[in-house]
Amino acid sequence: MTKNKAKIPAALGRLRIALFGAAAASVTLWAIAGTAHGQALDISGSEQPAAGRWQRLVNQPTVLCDTALLLTDGRVMMHQYGDPNHNGQGMNNWWALTPDANGSYLNGTWSQLASMSSSYGPLYFASAVLLDGRVIVEGGEYNFLIGVETNLGAIYSPFTNTWTSVNPPVGWANIGDAPGAVLDNGTFTIGDIFSKRQVLFNATTLTWTTTGTGKADNFSEEGFCKLPSGKLLLVDCSNGTNSELYDPATGQWSSAGSTIVKLPDTGSLEIGPHIQRPDGTSVAFGGTVHNAIYNFSTGTWTATADFPNGNDMADAPSAVLPNGDVLVATSPGIFQTPVTFFTFNGTTFTQAPATQTSASLTSYQERFLLLPTGQVLSVVADGIHIDAELFTSNGRPDPTWRPNITSVPATLTRGTTVQISGTQFNGLSVGSDYGDDCTNATNYPLVRITNIATGHVFYARTHDHSTMAIATGNTVVSTMVDVPANAEIGSSSIEVVANGIASRRKRVTIQ
């Protein structure tokens, strides 16, 4: 594909410069200070940035990083981008960032997780946290930095810290950087980058079945956008301004109308992320200077503000901040430097501060992950720098967006599993989005227990949620919760967190 030729040679060229022109790659890691429970940081004084702020982590990762996912026990699961020799070794390795005893990722610590098979080291791949808490990783534009559009895949169990290989769909010689999403019923789906084929994953049998009739074009460079209706919306990258809807109930695609303005770049077919906002709309960011908004209730598109200064998001990350704005990383032209960050409130772009390395990066080399603290983890994926930074925005969420616990046992016993029920456990958005290359949605409940006496924070692993739907309103949903065996006993509070927004706390006793 076009971007294979455009993206990797430049990256490898910089790798060679770093390898032979410097003794070691520079290592800078940043994060944001904030409260343990994700409350907005009080930044006072005349130098307060308009959009938010970055700050440095205390403990830095020791390896090159790229895609990050949020495990349901509150840990960040980070993929390793090769090793300092730039030969692709180590790309089957994964690491975990664990928040400290006060729930802070600023002071979190790193540890190594189990590695994938020695034959599978992907770059630019589909991935998701499933309904049962496991993590699926599929394909890869590169395998150990060799451009093969691999059809390999694997599933990770955080319960046992083990990987299991997953066979590709029948007849699929390639998966590559396929778009992927988890449907409301918990089923993971991917599209074929070289055709109109689409499949559904059975997480129990580790097998695939076909779906998706009537697709207008192939899935190359496209990304799924999950809607409150349960349907998936995407913008066609080879058909100008066309958009399409996938209905899981029928397995069929249909037209979703014109985006009004052209979003995919004509030469590379690259497009930006497409993500929901709490106001009942989604915003599709362009690989061009243009952007468009889709209204869920009317099913219509409107053009919105262009990127400032002629920037674009040809492969780039986004994340919905707790205040409803979207954090984005942009570039001044396809695969050009530097990265400029903005927040978008539905009508206006506001520039955010630069990071330690953004001046030397282009948009596709950034990754975002929305954390339960409401902060956004930004990771550099250029194979040179180790630069993971956390962004905290100004402003607080609307109280109507928060999850609400309606049922939780008053006494919780360490090492047991209980059910918690309530509303809006999955939030109003998937939280984080990139499109193809990186899929790491966070639309599932996390449970945080805080001991009243010590203030220590414990994330209780969640799994087997009743649904993966977003914006569920007043419908009562549930999740299973494993009470941590190491949780401190005594009077505690418990809260459900969805996409960085916490419910009101309920008082419980840990025994």
The domain segmentation of the chain, as residue ranges, is: 2-393, 404-510
Helix (H) or strand (E) holding 495: strand 490-498
Calpha distance 463→147 (Å, rounded) = 35
At 51, is the pLDDT very low, low, confident or very high (cuts 50, 70, 90)?
confident
- Predicted confidence at residue 113, as pLDDT, reads 98
47 or 98: which carries more pLDDT confidence?
98
Condensed to tens digits (0 to 9), the pLDDT of residues 222-263 reads 999 999 999 999 999 998 899 999 999 999 999 999 999 999
Residue in this structure with the two tokens 């497409």, named with its chain if needed: 274
Mean of per-residue pLDDT scores for the chain = 91
- Predicted confidence at residue 2, as pLDDT, reads 38
Distances (CA, A) of 166 to 117, 126, 207, 264: 11, 13, 8, 32
Tokens of 211: 């779906």
* Architecture of the domain made up of 404-510: Sandwich (2.60)
- β-strand 142-143 against 122-123: which pairing, if any? antiparallel
Tokens of 503: 């419910």
Tokens of 277: 């906002």
Helix (H) or strand (E) holding 254: strand 252-258
- Predicted confidence at residue 62, as pLDDT, reads 92
What's the rounded mean pLDDT across residues 95-105?
Answer: 97
Topology (CATH) of 2-393: Methylamine Dehydrogenase; Chain H (2.130.10)
DSSP character for 253?
E
At 85, is the pLDDT very low, low, confident or very high (cuts 50, 70, 90)?
confident
Do the domains 2-393 and 404-510 sit in the same CATH topology, yes or no? Answer: no
Contact between 63 and 83 under an 8 Å Cβ cutoff? The reply is yes
At 8, is the pLDDT very low, low, confident or very high (cuts 50, 70, 90)?
low
- Predicted confidence at residue 438, as pLDDT, reads 96
Q: For 144-194, what is the HEC assignment?
A: CCECCCCCCEEEEECCCCEEEECCCCCCCCCCCCCCEEECCCCCEEEECCC
What's the rounded mean pLDDT across residues 193-199?
Answer: 98
Calpha distance 399→189 (Å, rounded) = 33
Condensed to tens digits (0 to 9), the pLDDT of residues 450-485 reads 999 999 999 999 999 999 999 999 999 999 999 999
DSSP character for 45?
S
For residue 73, pLDDT beyond 70: yes
Contact between 468 and 478 under an 8 Å Cβ cutoff? The reply is no
- Predicted confidence at residue 41, as pLDDT, reads 33
Helix (H) or strand (E) holding 30: none
Q: Is 360 helix (H, G, I), strand (E, B) or coil?
A: helix
For residue 45, the Cα-to-chain-centroid distance in whole angstroms is 32
At 35, is the pLDDT very low, low, confident or very high (cuts 50, 70, 90)?
very low
Based on its alpha-carbon atoms, the radius of gyration of the chain, rounded to whole angstroms, reads 21
